[in-house]
């Protein structure tokens, strides 16, 4: 898989589902359509929540959560235009 895709839909989480995410709120959860077809639920990183848009091109990154595990997250592939 290329690791590239586009944002299909997104929402901003203001109340963490678990206390382990409390320091990270608000964060963006999104459905990303991968170039190869599958749709994946993930987080959008390195982008202000208000700038995440449907159709925005993104690429995978890996967020290390422990010595043994990393989660796929996605970041914009194009610069975000100032509002």
The pLDDT tens digits of the residues spanning 26-59 come to: 999 999 999 999 999 999 999 999 999 999 999 9
The CA-to-CA distance between both ends of the chain, in Å, stands at 33
pLDDT (0 to 100) of residue 10: 98
Extents of the domains making up the chain: 4-76
Q: How far apart are CA 80 and CA 76, in angstroms?
A: 8
pTM comes to 0.87
Q: DSSP letters along 23-75, please?
A: GG-SEEEEEEEETTS-EEEEEE-SS-GGG--TT-EEEEEEEE-SSS-EEEEEE
pLDDT (0 to 100) of residue 83: 58
Token pair recorded at residue 15 = 């109340």
Please report which confidence band the pLDDT of residue 80 belongs to, taking 50, 70 and 90 as the band edges: confident
| Domain boundaries 4-76, corresponding CATH code | 2.40.50
């Amino acid at each position: 898989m290329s690791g590239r895709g586009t944002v299909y839909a997104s929402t901003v989480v203001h109340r963490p589902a678990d206390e382990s995410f409390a320091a990270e709120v608000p964060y963006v959860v999104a459905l990303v359509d991968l170039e190869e077809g599958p749709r994946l639920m993930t987080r959008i990183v390195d982008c202000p929540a208000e700038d995440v848009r449907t159709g925005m091109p993104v690429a995978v990154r890996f967020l290390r959560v422990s010595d043994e595990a990393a989660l796929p997250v996605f970041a914009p592939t194009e610069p975000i235009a100032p509002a």
